[in-house]
Structure 1
Amino acid sequence: MKKFMTAALAGLGFAITATAVSAQAPATLAQVKQRGMLNCGSNTGLAGFGVPDAQGNWGGLDVEFCRAIAAAIFNDPTKIKFIPLSAKDRFTALQSGEVDVLVRNSTWTMTRDASLGLLFTGVNYYDGQGFMVRKKLGVTSALQLSGASVCTQQGTTTELNLADYFRANNLKYEVVAFASSDETVKAYDAGRCDAFTTDASGLYSERLKLTAPDEHIVLPEIISKEPLGPSVRNNDPQWFNLVKWVHFAMLNAEELGVTKANVDEQLKSTNPEVKRLLGTEGKFGETVGLTTDWVVRIVKHIGNYGESFERNVGQGSLLKIARGQNALWTKGGLQYAAPVR
Structure 2
Amino acid sequence: MTKPAVVRIFGAMAMTLGLLGLSACQRGGEELQGENSVSAEDIAALRELGETSPTLARVKARGYLNCGVHGNLMGFAYKDNRGQWRGFDVDFCRATAAAVLGRPDAVRFYALTAEERFPALVSGKVDVLWRNTSWTMERDSTGQVAFAGINYYDGQGFLTRRALNLSSAAELTGARICVHGNSTSELNVEDYFRTREIEFKPVILATEEEARQTYAREECDALTGDISSLAAARSVMNDPRQHVILHDFISKEPLGPVVRAGDERWEAVVRWTLNALISAEELGVTKSNVARLAQDGGRPEVNRLLGLEGDFGPKLGLARTWARDAIAASGNYGEIFENNVGQQSTLDLDRGLNQRWNAEQGGLIYGLPIR
| Fold match (TM-score > 0.5) | yes
Shift of 1:26: 5.6
Shift of 1:336: 0.7
- 2:189 match: 162
Identity %: 47
Shift of 1:339: 0.6
Residues 162-211 of structure 1: CA distance to partner in whole angstroms, max 9, x if unpaired? 00100111111111111222111110010111110000011110112222
- 1:320 match: 348
CA–CA separation in structure 2 for the residues paired with 1:116 and 1:208: 37
Structure 2 portions without partners, runs of 5+? 1-48
- 1:124 match: 151
Shift of 1:132: 0.7
- 1:335 match: 365
How do 1:50-199 residues align onto structure 2 when only pairs under 5 Å count? 50-115=77-142, 117-199=144-226
Shift of 1:93: 0.9
Residues 67-124 of structure 1: CA distance to partner in whole angstroms, max 9, x if unpaired? 0000111221111111001111111111111110011100000000011511111110
- Which residue of 334, 339, 347 maps to 1:311? 339
Shift of 1:269: 2.6
- Which residue of 330, 340, 359 maps to 1:302? 330
Residues 7-52 of structure 1: CA distance to partner in whole angstroms, max 9, x if unpaired? xxxxxxxxxxxxxxx9867610110111111110100111111111
CA contact (8 A) 2:287 2:328 kept: yes
Please tell me whether residue 239 in structure 1 is matched to residue 266 in structure 2.
Answer: yes
CA contact (8 A) 1:25 1:235 kept: no
Residue identity opposite 2:313 in structure 1: G
- 1:14 match: none
Shift of 1:140: 1.5
Q: 1:186 to 1:116 in 2, by over 3 A?
A: farther
SS of the equivalent of 1:337 reads coil
Q: 1:25 to 1:277 in 2, by over 3 A?
A: closer
Aligned residues: 320
CA–CA separation in structure 2 for the residues paired with 1:119 and 1:290: 21
CA–CA separation in structure 1 for the residues paired with 2:155 and 2:56: 33
How do 1:253-292 residues align onto structure 2 when only pairs under 5 Å count? 253-267=280-294, 268-292=296-320
CA contact (8 A) 1:238 1:288 kept: yes
CA–CA separation in structure 1 for the residues paired with 2:181 and 2:211: 9
SS of the equivalent of 2:160 reads strand
Shift of 1:55: 2.1
SS of the equivalent of 1:126 reads strand
Structure 1 portions without partners, runs of 5+? 1-21
Structure 1 stretches (4+) deviating beyond 6 angstroms?
Answer: 22-25
CA contact (8 A) 2:87 2:340 kept: yes
- Normalising by the residue count of structure 1, what TM-score does the alignment of the two structures yield? 0.91
Shift of 1:299: 1.4
